[in-house]
């Protein structure tokens, strides 16, 4: 559920067109950045929680590297997807419309951005499923730890008697 603002932000960006004001765009992008701010700390804690203290520095470095590498690949994949979708729409518009200079290219760019943000929002929404499952597992582990803690206290009381 922490990733939901990022997915919603990407979807809202699919609604942008030439008439969309700067402030709406800024609000939609800010929503996504807020989602990132909400998402990163729990992910970091969850990833490093299982490591022993002597490996925390290595784990933190590896996590930072993996996050940056993933972001680099993600941005490049989106750039390639955007270029592909713009080319696709340019070809499709040239077949159906008379070439009036930059008009076709501008329409193709808008449609390419729309497609790219739509695909991004769908991929991010799919990421909500494993995040939810991890959250359910964590809740189950907390319940199990609580039950184990109660059992340990009972056993300790019985031994004292």
Query: pLDDT category, 137, cuts 50, 70, 90?
Result: low
Q: Is the pTM of this model over 0.75?
A: no
Give residue 8's pLDDT: 92
The candidate with the shortest Cα–Cα distance to 82, out of 74, 92, 70, is 74
Residues 45-83: tens digit of each pLDDT = 888 888 888 999 999 999 999 999 999 999 999 999 999
Q: Is 20 left (phi over 0), alpha (psi -120 to 50) or beta?
A: beta
For residue 155, the model assigns a pLDDT of 61
Residues 29, 33, 39, 44: what is their CA dihedral angle, to the nearest 10 degrees? 140
Q: Which carries the bigger pLDDT value, residue 139 or residue 133? A: 133
What sign does the CA torsion over 137, 128, 67, 64 have?
Answer: negative
Mean pLDDT (whole number) for 111-116: 95
């Amino acid at each position: 559920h922490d990733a939901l603002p990022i997915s919603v932000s990407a979807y809202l960006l699919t609604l942008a067109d030439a008439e969309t004001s700067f402030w709406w765009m800024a609000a939609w992008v800010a929503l996504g950045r807020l989602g990132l701010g909400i998402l990163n700390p729990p992910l970091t804690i969850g990833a490093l929680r299982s490591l022993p203290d002597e490996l925390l520095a290595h784990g933190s470095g590896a996590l930072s590297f993996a996050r940056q590498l993933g972001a680099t690949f993600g941005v490049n994949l989106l750039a390639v997807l955007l270029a592909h979708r713009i080319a696709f729409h340019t070809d499709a518009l040239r077949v159906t419309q008379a070439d009036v200079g930059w008009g076709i290219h501008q329409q193709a760019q808008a449609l390419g951005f729309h497609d790219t943000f739509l695909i991004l929002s769908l991929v991010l929404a799919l990421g909500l499923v494993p995040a939810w499952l991890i959250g359910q597992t964590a809740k189950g582990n907390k319940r199990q730890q609580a039950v184990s803690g109660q059992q340990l206290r009972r056993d300790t009381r019985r031994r004292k008697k």
